[in-house]
């Protein structure tokens, strides 16, 4: 594949230079024609090229939508995600209508009104009515979009914390994530990077009575259909907690606690078995298989087959391994979630173990 | 050509007043420490083009890494060296450094200094009818500060710990702590010093432009008769004066945080096994300060291009620009709005969501003046007599990419939709089309159009056509598919995407994009060749090759100090009287000539337009 593409590039470059040399020769030999100012012939050729470009460009856009639409993320796995996607599709639809229309006018006019000697252009300096129309139409359309967008925005961002909300701290550091669950008292203990010492890796305040039952995990498990509120804390630099499948993102800022909340609606299992994901994973594994062939031929390890899991990414440049700062997310039924959580070691237990080790 | 148009050419030479060019110029005063705005403009242009070549080369290098991650290429070993490309494989340090410096160079050194620096210097005195800038000396100083700034930025590529690599937005704490990334050591220090110089040159230049436009317009050149180029450059300078100082303050505070232990942007940081003493600062404050410049900056980049395109389009359509007043009003509206929308870069930064709502509102408002401009350009073409010169092609291309890129701004400016596409390739696609490619098209259009005035020779049109069409196809080939990669949730600034098998099916598209990028980059060599060979061997230009109305075309082809050998021409009309008919609609105002230069008095056979 790679070699093939390189050959294409080289071939295209070759053609380019060949064409250029031809043009150079042409421009030198025809002394009768001005090589610098567009003649009627140029206007005509360039006008037709504009028309050709319009057609090619439309085909190219169509091709992009046709073959790349599948890249769009699967059905949103969070409650607000549905609204998000609807607003996105409406916006894309609207944009494309305007895009096709204006690009048509622009390139078609460039073709239609290509210059000719002796032709008279239409002296047309102003038309208040026309300009009013194309001021007011965007105003109305944008007003609609703004109002729709702002309603959705305030719904997403105003997270009301009640007794039922699962509060989880996400802790970001170069280059990884940790999650902290509140434990039985349902309250996260106080924390600050100044308390980081030894196995107390996220800086929990040991003197805080709420802290001991907190649980620190390296996987993020979420109960389905329950509101989750993330409290985000950074150890060192800016990070961004990006949950593409849940249409959620918030920066993680050292020195302050930021938050984002959503309700997961599709379990990992369901997502894995959805038609979209089955197709996608099959295709990805096909690609991985082919890439593996090449790797094995070079004496390297083959790639593991891929199985879908939700993941959390870092989406704010944070250093050398920014590209690989991820955390697995598991959305599961509430029972499974509780069972998993019960199996995790609490902070108190970890500290006690440590003390015992020190005594020995 | 009629006698009228030639009136100024034959202008008597006895009006040789105080601005004679009789004192002998040495090589140094003419080409190096020149105070002539035309020479300074050329200095800006050539420096900008060199920086541009560097910036584009960098983009090709990191695009190769994105398409064929962690594979060995001889060119990496050659250009990056053993340390940054061991065995020809680019490492993550080099990748982040390349994207950072590519962004910095293209935004500031090419599209700010190279575009507005060149054309403000060149066109403002020529088009308003002034002998030179208000202060030729300050103008010279501002170029040389720019030069120093460029040299410092390039020298940062050669320091041992590498150049700045925290992204061109240099958000602290990453940019403040050498412990966090090697590029934040000496490289970042040089970046900040270079930018401080850059801001100084920008302020000196901008003040000069503003004063010149306000004070030195020739007789009859009222503000409402100014060509749109001057309006755009004038307003750009104002935006620069308003917003650049804020970036300087942010840079100074960052320098303080880095070197003198202050805590403007730093708080609660534990890094490399140690808690830092910094307490109480906020990176969000830096983001506010940065984007208070950063957003107006994109209009500093795009407004000059809009101005150039308006002028070139009207001239080559042989029609007045449609809706002159609306065009001026929308420039002013965009300039005003540009200073109150910066928060749309920060919807998910942790700032209060209510602020996000306000910024969504102001941001989407910008679409209105932008739409007016786009429709007015399209209407300018309608029923024109389009002369497809290279400058015109790039102007049409500009409108095309400006629309394509601008429309996706409606998605990114909407706080809700920004949540999931923030910092993905969708953003890259958007801003490259709307300000990167568009502004570059503006720059190319300007160079092709004013080359005869700058160098007294013409550029080759056929090479120009090849340059335009390959670039036009290549640019869309790079950036249109990129939207879809962004919608897949692929973050920007990832050294490789292989850490997430989920992205494996995007790999082919990334290869396609890189192939287009390489083609587009290579074809720029045609422009460079055309540019350089035309300076020396191009066909000699006539005085007014594009048959334009603006005043610069009334100056002699050979540059003279003070621009006009005789008296400065007076202005009697706006600059868009193309194809204007006489009262009886029998012929043009000047029989047989479809344009009326600004210095031609009102004729008996025409009606005056009120603008």
Q: DSSP class of residue A197?
A: B
Nearest to B367 among A19, A127, A138 (CB): A138
Q: Which residue of A has its CA nearest to B92?
A: A320
For residue A81, being part of any structural domain is answered with no
Beta-bridge partners for B491 = B424
3-state class percentages of chain A: helix first, strand second, coil last, to nearest 5: 50, 20, 30
Choose among A72, A114, A322: nearest Cβ to B388: A114
Is residue B372 helix, strand or coil?
helix
Region A29-42: mean pLDDT is 79
Answer yes or no: are the C-beta atoms of B269 and B215 closer than 8 Å. Answer: no
Q: Which residues of B touch A35 (CB under 8 A)?
A: 458, 460-462, 539
- Partner A contacted by B408 (CB < 8 A): yes
CB-based contact (8 Å) between B591 and chain A?
no
Note whether residue B250 is domain-resident: yes
Q: Residue A232 belongs to what H/E stretch?
A: strand A228-234
User: CB under 8 Å, gap of 24 or more: what pairs does B153-157 form?
Assistant: B153/B101, B153/B104, B153/B105, B153/B109, B153/B190, B153/B191, B153/B194, B154/B54, B155/B190, B156/B101, B156/B186, B156/B187, B156/B190, B156/B191, B156/B194, B157/B97, B157/B101
Q: State what percent of residues in chain A have pLDDT above 70.
A: 92
Q: Which residues in chain B have their CB less than 8 angstroms from residue A316's CB?
A: 171, 423
Whether residue B585 is contained in a domain is answered as yes
* Angle formed at CA B123 by CA A39 and CA B534, multiple of 5 degrees: 45
Q: From the CA of A239, how many Å to the nearest CA of chain B?
A: 10
Q: Which of A20, A115, A311 sits opposite B385 (nearest CB)?
A: A115
pLDDT digits (tens, 9 = 90+) for B460-498: 999 999 999 999 999 999 999 999 999 999 999 999 999
Tell me what pLDDT residue A354 has: 85
Q: SS3 for A177?
A: strand
Q: Is A149 on the interface with B (CB under 8 A)?
A: yes
The interface pTM score, or ipTM, of the predicted complex is 0.92
CATH for A205: 2.60.40.420
| A182 part of a folded domain | yes
Same domain, B472 and B568: no
Taking a C-beta distance cutoff of 8 angstroms, is the pair B295, B345 a contact? Answer: yes
pLDDT band at B9 (very low <50, low <70, confident <90, very high): very low
pLDDT in tens, B340-355: 999 999 999 999 999 9
DSSP, collapsed to helix, strand or coil, labels residue B12 as: coil
Tell me which residues of chain A, numbers 261 to 320, contact chain B at a CB-CB cutoff of 8 Å: 280, 283-284, 287-288, 291, 303, 306, 308, 311, 313-320
A191–chain B nearest CA distance, Å: 11
Q: How far apart are the first and last CA of chain B?
A: 27
Over residues B342-395, the pLDDT tens digits come to: 999 999 999 999 999 999 999 999 999 999 999 999 999 999 999 999 999 999
- Three-class DSSP category at B129: coil
A30, with CB counted inside 10 A (0-12, 13-18, 19+), is: exposed
- Which residue out of A51, A60, A71 would a mutagenesis test of the B interface target, given it has the greatest number of B Cβ atoms within 10 Å? A71
Residue with tokens 């007014």: B544
Say what the pTM is: 0.93
Which of A21, A32, A36 to mutate to test binding with chain B, by most B CBs within 10 Å of its CB? A36
Read off the DSSP letter of residue A339. H
* Shared-domain flag, residues B276 and B305: no
Name the one residue in this structure whose structure tokens are 């024109």. Answer: B384
Measured distance CA(A90)–CA(A110) in Å, rounded: 30
Estimate the share of chain B in helix, then strand, then coil, as percent rounded to the nearest 5: 65, 5, 30
B195-221: per-residue pLDDT in tens? 999 999 999 999 999 999 999 999 999
Q: Is A318 domain-assigned?
A: yes
**B124 CB near a chain A CB, below 8 Å?**
no
How far away is chain A from the Cα of B199, in angstroms, using its nearest Cα?
25
Length of chain B in residues, anyone? 611
**Token pair 């567009």 in the structure block, residue:** A38
Taking one residue from A and the other from B, the number of pairs with CB-CB distance under 8 angstroms is 403
The answer as to whether B521 is a domain residue is: yes
Residue B11 confidence (pLDDT) = 42
d(CA B451, CA B458): 6
Tell which B residues from 141 to 160 touch A, by Cβ distance under 8 Å: none
Q: Are B134 and B215 in contact (CB under 8 A)?
A: yes
Number of domains into which chain A is organized: 1
Are residue B263 and residue B410 in the same domain, yes or no?
no
**Looking at the domain assignment, is residue A214 inside a domain?**
yes
Domain residues for B109?
Answer: 35-281
pLDDT per residue over A86-132, tens digit each?
999 999 999 999 999 999 999 999 999 999 988 899 999 888 999 99
Residues in chain B within 8 Å Cβ distance of A123? 319-320, 578-581
Question: Residue B107's pLDDT is what?
Answer: 96
Contacts of A262 in chain B (CB under 8 A): none
- pLDDT class for A186, splitting at 50, 70, 90? confident
B4: pLDDT strictly greater than 60: no
| Residue B429 falls inside a structural domain | yes
Q: Domain end: B235, B255, B281, which one? A: B281
| Cross-chain residue pair A60–B284, CB shorter than 8 Å | no
Q: Determine how many CB atoms are found less than 10 A away from the CB of residue B27.
A: 7
The reported pLDDT for the residue numbered A34 is 84
Residue A71 belongs to some domain of the structure: no
The pLDDT value recorded for residue A32 is 61
Q: Is residue A232 a part of any domain in this protein?
A: yes
Within-domain flag for A37:
no
Beta bridge partners of B581: B588
Backbone angles phi and psi of A178, in degrees to 5: -135, 150
Q: Are B450 and B391 members of one domain?
A: yes
- CB contacts of B522 in chain A (<8 Å) are 13, 16
**B10 within a domain of the structure (yes/no):** no
pLDDT band at A3 (very low <50, low <70, confident <90, very high): low
CATH of the domain at B104: 1.20.210.10
- The answer to whether B130 touches B216, Cβ cutoff 8 Å, is yes
Query: Domain ends where: B248, B281, B314?
Result: B281
List pLDDT tens digits, range A220-232: 999 999 999 999 9
B391: in domain? yes
* B510 and B580 share one domain: no
DSSP string of B307-352, one letter each residue: HHHHHHHHHHHTSPPTTHHHHHHHHHHHHHHHTT-GGGG-TTTTS-
Write out chain A residues lying below 8 Å of B500, CB-based. Answer: 311, 313, 326
Question: What is the pLDDT, as a whole number, of residue A70?
Answer: 92
pLDDT of residue A30: 54
Of B281, B311, B333, the last residue of a domain is: B281
Q: Could you identify the residue written with the tokens 């029972």?
A: A335
**What is the domain range of residue A229?**
167-270+306-359
CA distance B226 to B534: 30
Q: What are phi and psi of A125, to 5 degrees?
A: -95, -25
Query: Does A67 fall in a domain?
Result: no
In this structure, the answer to whether residues B498 and B395 fall within a common structural domain is yes
Give the sheet arrangement for strand A258-262, strand by strand.
Answer: A215-217, A176-181, A166-173, A228-234, A258-262
Going by pLDDT thresholds of 50, 70 and 90, the confidence category of residue A312 is: very high
8 Å CB contact between B401 and B437: yes
> Is residue B287 assigned to a domain?
no
> Number of structural domains, chain B?
3
d(CA A207, CA A222): 28
């Amino acid at each position: 594949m790679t070699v093939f593409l390189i050959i294409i590039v080289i071939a295209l470059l070759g053609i380019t230079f060949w064409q250029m040399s031809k043009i150079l020769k042409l421009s030198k030999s025809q002394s009768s024609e001005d090589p610098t100012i567009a003649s009627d012939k140029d206007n005509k050729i360039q006008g037709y090229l504009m028309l050709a470009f319009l057609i090619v460009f439309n085909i190219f856009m169509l091709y992009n939508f046709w073959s790349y639409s599948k890249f769009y993320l699967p059905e949103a796995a969070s409650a607000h995600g549905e609204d998000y996607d609807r607003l996105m599709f409406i916006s894309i639809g609207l944009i494309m209508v305007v895009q096709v229309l204006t690009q048509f006018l622009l390139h078609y006019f460039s073709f239609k009104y290509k210059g000719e000697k002796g032709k008279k252009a239409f002296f047309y300096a102003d038309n208040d009515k026309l300009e009013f129309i194309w001021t007011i139409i965007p105003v109305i359309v944008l007003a609609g979009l703004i109002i729709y967008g702002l309603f959705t925005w305030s719904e997403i961002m105003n997270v009301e914390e009640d007794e039922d909300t699962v509060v989880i701290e996400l802790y970001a550091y170069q280059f990884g994530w940790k999650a902290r669950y509140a434990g039985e008292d349902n309250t996260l203990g106080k924390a600050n990077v100044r308390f980081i010492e030894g196995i107390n890796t996220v800086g929990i305040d040991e003197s805080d009575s709420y802290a001991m039952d907190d649980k620190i995990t390296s996987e993020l498990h979420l109960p389905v259909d329950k509101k989750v509120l993330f409290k985000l804390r950074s150890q060192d630099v800016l990070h961004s907690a990006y949950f593409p499948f849940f249409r959620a993102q918030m920066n993680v800022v050292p020195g302050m606690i930021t938050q984002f909340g959503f309700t997961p609606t599709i379990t990992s299992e369901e997502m894995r078995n959805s038609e979209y994901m089955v197709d996608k994973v099959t295709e990805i594994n096909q690609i991985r298989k082919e890439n593996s062939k090449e790797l094995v031929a070079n004496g390297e390890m083959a790639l593991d087959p891929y199985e879908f899991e939700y993941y959390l990414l870092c989406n704010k440049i944070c250093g050398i391994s920014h590209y690989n700062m991820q955390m697995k997310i598991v959305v599961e039924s509430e029972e499974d979630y509780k069972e998993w959580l019960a199996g995790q070691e609490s902070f108190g237990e970890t500290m006690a173990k440590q003390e015992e080790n020190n005594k020995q | 050509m009629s006698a009228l148009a030639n009136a100024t050419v034959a202008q008597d030479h006895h009006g040789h007043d105080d601005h004679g060019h009789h004192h002998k110029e040495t090589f140094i005063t003419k080409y190096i420490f020149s105070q002539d705005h035309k020479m300074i403009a050329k200095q800006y242009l050539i420096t900008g083009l060199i920086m541009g070549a560097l910036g584009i080369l960098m983009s090709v290098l990191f695009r190769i890494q994105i398409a064929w991650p962690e594979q060995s290429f001889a060119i990496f070993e050659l250009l990056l060296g053993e340390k940054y490309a061991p065995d020809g494989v680019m490492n993550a340090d080099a990748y982040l450094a390349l994207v950072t410096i590519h962004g910095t160079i293209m935004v500031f050194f090419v599209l700010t200094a190279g575009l507005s620096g060149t054309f403000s210097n060149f066109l403002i005195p020529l088009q308003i009818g002034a002998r030179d800038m208000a202060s030729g000396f300050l103008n010279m100083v501002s170029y040389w500060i720019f030069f120093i700034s460029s040299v410092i930025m390039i020298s940062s590529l050669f320091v041992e710990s590498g150049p700045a690599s925290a992204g061109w937005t240099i958000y602290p704490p990453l940019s403040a702590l050498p412990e966090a990334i090697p590029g934040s050591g000496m490289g970042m220090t040089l970046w900040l010093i270079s930018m401080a110089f850059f801001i100084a040159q920008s302020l000196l230049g901008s003040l000069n432009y503003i004063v010149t436009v306000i004070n030195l317009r020739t007789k009859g050149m009222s503000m409402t008769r100014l060509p749109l180029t001057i309006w755009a450059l004038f307003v750009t300078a104002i935006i620069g004066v308003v917003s650049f100082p804020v970036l300087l303050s942010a840079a100074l505070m960052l320098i303080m945080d880095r070197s003198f232990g202050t805590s403007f942007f730093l708080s609660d940081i534990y890094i490399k096994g140690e808690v830092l003493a910094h307490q109480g600062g906020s990176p969000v404050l830096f983001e506010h300060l940065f984007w208070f410049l950063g957003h107006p900056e994109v209009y500093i980049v795009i407004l000059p291009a809009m101005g150039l395109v308006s002028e070139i389009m009207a001239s080559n359509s042989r029609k007045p620009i449609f809706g002159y007043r609306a065009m001026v009003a929308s420039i002013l509206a965009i300039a005003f709005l540009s200073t109150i929308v910066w928060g749309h870069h920060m919807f998910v930064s942790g700032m209060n969501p209510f602020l996000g709502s306000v910024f969504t509102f102001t941001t989407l408002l910008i679409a209105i003046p932008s739409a007016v401009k786009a429709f007015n350009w399209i209407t300018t073409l309608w029923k024109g007599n389009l002369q497809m010169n290279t400058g015109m092609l790039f102007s049409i291309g500009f409108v095309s990419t400006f629309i394509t890129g601008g429309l996706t701004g409606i998605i990114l400016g909407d706080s809700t939709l920004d949540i999931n596409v923030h910092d993905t390739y969708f953003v890259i696609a958007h801003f490259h089309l709307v300000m990167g490619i568009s502004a570059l098209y503006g720059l190319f259009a300007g160079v092709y159009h004013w080359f005869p005035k700058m160098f007294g020779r013409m550029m080759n049109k056929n090479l120009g056509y090849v340059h335009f069409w390959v670039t036009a196809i290549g640019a869309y080939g790079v950036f249109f598919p990129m939207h879809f990669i962004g919608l897949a949730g692929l973050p920007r600034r990832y050294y490789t995407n292989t850490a997430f098998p989920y992205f494996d099916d995007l790999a082919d598209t990334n290869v396609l994009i890189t192939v287009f990028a390489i083609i587009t980059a290579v074809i720029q060599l045609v422009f460079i060749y055309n540019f350089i060979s035309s300076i020396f061997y191009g066909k000699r230009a006539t005085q007014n090759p594009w048959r334009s109305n603006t005043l610069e075309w009334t100056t002699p082809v050979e540059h003279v100090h003070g621009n006009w050998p005789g008296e400065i021409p007076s202005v009697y009309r706006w600059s868009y009287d193309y194809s204007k008919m006489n009262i009886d609609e029998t012929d043009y105002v000047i029989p047989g000539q479809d344009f009326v230069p600004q210095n031609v008095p009102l004729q008996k056979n025409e009606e005056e337009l009120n603008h």
